[in-house]
Amino acid sequence: MTRRRKPGQESHQPLLSHRVGAIWEAPQERPTLSLSMSKKEGHVLDGPGMTTISRGETAMQDGLREAMSGLAAGVCVVTTWVEGRPWGMAVSSCCSLSMRPALLLVCLENSRTATRAILEQQRFGVNILRADQEHVALRVSACGEPKFIDDFVLEGGAVSTPKIGGVLSFLHCELYDAIAVGDHTIAVGEVADVTLGYLADPLIYFRRRFCRITTPGAPDETGTRLPRRALGRG
């Protein structure tokens, strides 16, 4: 049996302030969640500075999505081939896993074209985007649109996965393992080739917006806000 902790009674302060390595979007009070639930599904408890969501699968899904939108992450484009053309999928769930062997992992939505192609071809590329490559991220996050990226990819590369030009770094991976968990697949890649690119700031994904890192005291700017589930579509 899984034990559930009771919600804490203490108040919580915002984790980001105007003076800390800032994200463009200034911290602000979290709006009250608008969740559609019946009494059987759960309820929302509003306290000072916090919202508690209790019980109900739909409520937990919305709560998880909202909570994790506050975890700022770099933006990567996972690349593969579809119909013989380069195809990209934006992800924020990407991290190193092991040094010996050299492994990383990305989380891919099961229903996406890119996921099926990667499982079939047994390889994929990871492109870590620069701050000024938001246009690339928007292309591969557009809902309901093909994610072909012919015009972004370098030609004549030595590796067999598409490499986007001008990225911070590129990693070519052979599929080491694939683990289906819920509605996603954790793709573990063994790194076979690394290209280190520009020394520049990364593109950041935070609160469903693409943002840039800025220095304390610099003007705040707002990035492009995406639909709730846009990142990861491919």
Q: How far apart are CA 208 and CA 69, in angstroms?
A: 6
Domain boundaries, the chain: 16-68, 73-212
Is residue 193 very low, low, confident or very high in pLDDT (cuts 50, 70, 90)?
A: very high
- 185, 105 in Cβ contact below 8 A? no
Give the pLDDT score at 215: 60
Q: What is the pLDDT of residue 213?
A: 82
User: DSSP character for 30?
Assistant: P
Higher-confidence position of 52 and 7: 52
pTM beyond cutoff 0.85: no
Q: Which residue has the tokens 């506050």?
A: 70
Rounded Cα gap, residues 151 and 159, in angstroms: 18
First-to-final CA distance of the chain: 37
User: Which pLDDT score is estimated for 177?
Assistant: 97
Report which of residues 39 and 104 the model is more confident about. 104
73-212, CATH topology level: Pnp Oxidase; Chain A (2.30.110)
Q: Tell me the β-bridge partners of 83.
A: none
Q: How many residues does the chain have?
A: 234
Does 191 have pLDDT greater than 80? yes
Measured in whole angstroms, how far is the alpha carbon of residue 23 from the centre of its chain? 16
Q: Is 195 helix (H, G, I), strand (E, B) or coil?
A: strand
For 3-7, 13-17, 184-188, which range has the lowest pLDDT when averaged over its residues? 13-17
Residue 68: which pLDDT band, with cuts at 50, 70 and 90? confident
Phi, psi of 139 (to 5 degrees): -60, -45
pLDDT of 203 over the 90 cut: yes
